[in-house]
Chains A and B, each alone.
Chain A
Amino acid sequence: MAAAAARFFDSDLWWSFSRSPVAVLSAVVALLCIGGAVLAPWIAPQDPFDLATLNLSDAFKPPAWAEEGDAGFPLGSDDQGRDVLSAIMHGARVSLLVGVCAVLFSTLLGVSVGLTAGYLGGTADALLMRIADIQLTFPSILVALLVDGVVRAALPRETHDQIALFVVIFAIGISNWPQFARTVRGSTLVERNKEYVLAARVIGLSRLRIMLTHVLPNVLGPVLVIATLNLGFAILAEATLSFLGVGVPPTQPSLGTLIRIGNDFLMSGEWWITIFPGVALVAMVLSVNLLGDWLRDALNPRLR
């Protein structure tokens, strides 16, 4: 274990990381966001889902540092007396969950398609890549809206509310896989003619085995970069869908839902209800994207 850690701190990646203030800063912010979200049930000042803790007379409290602020509500409270900070922490949990799952889903789908297309070539390649091309011509938010709309129409309301989270994950994931597929296919085309693959073929390994154990590990580098960058996109897409009112159900408010609800009060002076979730969303997405950018540069040998 210690050896592994030592190897890590000795690596190029760590060297490049520790030399980039932007990367360090965004890693700290990202860790704060993620840590706050993951640990929300234990460290949030209030449980926003427990109705019995809400008190209407605490509603519309401005942030603690403002004149009528209350130390119990560091970032103020909303129209039902819910603590905005706790709502953000729990909301970020939902946003992150959806984002991570959606990226995992599109990675899985994109990598398998790209790998298959690149390694098999021929008709399979043409067919899969044309599907990807068609998919790329639709703006991804449109695809997500379409999927959500179809599911909403097809299922009764109660069922839909129960599976809404999965629908959003699927909708965002499906709109995003072609990027992974195209990248992986490109790398696979390069790798499959390399001598180690030829050698594996000569000793009679099955195609599936070659793809999974020999080609896959060598095409994963760029995938990691895209996945990081896509995490930011997926979180934003979820916020957009929830802001439009078609995302996660209101019983599990995400950052987008919080921004939408707070938006009603923005113009009437209760700005903190919508601004703070917005700031949290920006901080989370920006830090993840900057980390992704840094990772891309760090993994690119030409930029070293």
Chain B
Amino acid sequence: MKRAWMRAGALAALLLGAVVDDAAARTVRWAASGDPNTLDPHSQNVGTVTMVLQQIYEGLVTRNPDLSPAPGLATSWSQEEPTRWRFNLRQGVRFHGGEPFTAEDVVFSFVRAQQPTSNFGIFVDTIDRAVAVDERTVDIITKVPDPILPNKIISVYMMSKPWSEANNAARPQNTRAREETHTVRNTNGTGPFRLAAREPDVRTVMARNDAWWGWQQQQQGEGPRGNVTEIVYRPVASDATRIAALLSGEVDFVLDPPLQDLNRLRSASGTKVLEGPEVRSLYIVFDTFRDELLYSDVKGRNPFKDLRVRQALYHAIDIQAIHRTTMRGQSVVTGTLFPEQVNGYVREEDVRLPYDQARARALLAEAGYPNGFSVTLDCSNNRYINDEQICQAITAMWARVGVRTSLKAQPIAPFFAQIQRDDTSVYMLGWGVPTLDALYSFQSLLASRGSAPGDGIWNYGRYSNERMDALIARMKTETGPARQAAIRDALRLYREDVPHIPLHHQMIPWAMRSNLSIPHAANNQPYFRWAVMN
């Protein structure tokens, strides 16, 4: 009797195994080092959150595989007046919970993204209000003409008004107050995948939403036809463990493989590496505001206010050595603020001050520091690719021209908290450009702080230059060649005034099993809607 049961059990297990196997063939098991700290669509403008949410939620405008804007929940849009954009909504779309997608939801979502607890202000800063013209049309009224509005609102996801209100989540979760709302662990989007299970720091399971409008378009189109039925996301903090899991076939996709393992992953059978540039650049940023640096032995004056000192430290950096050794070739050396994918890029301004130690020493002597000085460089150690190693290398290079640099490398949470208090003398920052437009970088990093909303919000060196501010003001309102001229002039000024030392744009390798293909995205956010499992 017992044996018969066991046999039946074995058979059942076998059958079940076969079924699971079939489904497993199109499950993508995905690993990366960090876990999203919330699933609220308007609470945290952070890459690890977006990379999961963009599988579930959509905005009015979405992206093509090359990141250019594409129709999302709006099928078309036009600038009716300088301050009024009209969006025609896609019909017949339903949220994962079954609610129909309406013009009211659009208005609600923009209001929600404008709340004080929202972290998405930079994307909606010019919006005065959204107005439902009728069931299928929404107008967005801006305070000033905003030529790049469609690019900006790609990041503003649409939520269901009745669902959010029923769950008491009409405003974004307040992460600073460690608030816990319904939207932190639950989602209700319109996108190609729905949330099936969520265990923070353990796993996040997303199942295919067969009703998504885009699947049909993919069938008719020329591009990749996504066939993934399930995504299982697991955070694996240890580099070695993540790579071992990929090599052993325990995961299919690793977003952030360590650079030193790329050669092994390339040559191993069953795995491949997909490489591409990322729209993220690294800079060294100086405190050019204080009259005396917080962390230096120079008293009574701020050496970084002297252009010659900033140029000297620029000349001292052997960027090719960092590119070759620390980054193992996985970087694009730059002399400008953002990479060429960003609208406004000017190749002639992408020129570095050459690596020249003698010149660096001469400039320091000329500025009155023949024996150098001491300073502390602040760095993150788990945010950008090899960030701590880059900083160590720079510390040594500066030491060689006489600037005795001590390094303070810490995890992102304390690092960001510290620089956001302006509690730094010089720091390394990485900066991505989600809008793919020059203004986003200029406004956040180089505008004088506080002159207008969003101006200088990441300008912790408090760089302030009237000419730069005037050019940024022109970028905000002008269009066409006049705007491009303002960007060009600003890039020239950036090169001449050295408020930062630009280092490089990151390359982002993605590692995956050979049977998976997915278009590489320069914002480091994979879209699994185009993933194909064989």
Contacts and interface: CB of A to CB of B under 8 A. Distances in A.
A251 to B, nearest CB: 8
Nearest to B397: A56
Nearest to B409: A250
Contacts of B138: none
B325 A268 contact: no
Interface stretch (B142-150, B259-267, B338-346, B421-429): B259-267
A30 to B, nearest CB: 33
Nearest to A59: B325
B393 A80 contact: yes
Contacts of B395: 51
B325 A264 contact: no
Nearest to B240: A267
Nearest to B258: A264
B321 interface: yes
A300 B325 CA distance: 57
Interface residues of A, number: 19
30 contacts: A50-B399, A51-B396, A51-B405, A52-B399, A54-B396, A55-B396, A56-B321, A56-B322, A57-B318, A57-B321, A60-B325, A79-B389, A80-B389, A80-B392, A80-B396, A81-B325, A81-B396, A263-B240, A264-B240, A264-B258, A264-B260, A265-B260, A267-B243, A267-B260, A268-B260, A268-B261, A268-B263, A269-B263, A269-B264, A270-B260
B116 to A, nearest CB: 32
Interface in A15-54: 50-52, 54
Interface in B257-314: 258, 260-261, 263-264
Interface in B354-400: 389, 392-393, 395-397, 399-400
Nearest to A268: B260
Contacts of B400: 51-52
Q: Which 7 A-B pairs have the closest CB atoms?
A: A51-B399, A268-B260, A56-B321, A54-B396, A51-B396, A52-B399, A59-B325
Nearest to B395: A51
A265 B324 CA distance: 16
Contacts, number: 56
Interface string A124-136: 0000000000000
Given A79-B389, A80-B396, A56 B264 contact: no
B506 interface: no
B322 A268 contact: no
B34 to A, nearest CB: 18
Contacts of B389: 79-80
Contacts of A269: 263-264
A268 B405 CA distance: 30
A39 B133 CA distance: 82
Contacts of B322: 56
Contacts of A52: 396, 399-400
Contact of A268 (B264, B321, B324, B326): B264
Interface of B: 239-240, 243, 258, 260-261, 263-264, 318, 321-322, 324-326, 389, 392-393, 395-397, 399-400, 405
Given A52-B396, A52-B399, A57 B260 contact: no
A52 B393 CA distance: 11
Given A54-B399, A264-B240, 11 more contacts: A50-B399, A51-B405, A56-B326, A56-B393, A57-B318, A57-B321, A59-B325, A264-B239, A267-B240, A267-B264, A268-B260
Residue with the greatest number of chain B CB neighbours at <10 A, chosen from A51, A80, A264, A269 = A51
Contacts of B326: 56, 59, 79
Given A267-B240, A268-B264, A56 B318 contact: yes
Contacts of A81: 325, 396
Nearest to B244: A267
Nearest to B399: A51
A51 B372 CA distance: 14
A164 B501 CA distance: 34
B174 to A, nearest CB: 27
A52 B240 CA distance: 32
A264 B393 CA distance: 17
B325 A79 contact: yes
A295 B258 CA distance: 48
A303 to B, nearest CB: 46
A54 B400 CA distance: 8
Contacts of B324: 57
Contacts of A50: 399
B291 to A, nearest CB: 24
Contacts of B239: 264
Contacts of A270: 260
A59 B243 CA distance: 24
Contacts of B318: 56-57
A242 to B, nearest CB: 17
Contacts of A265: 260
A268 B258 CA distance: 10
A56 B263 contact: no
A54 B322 CA distance: 13
Contacts of B243: 267
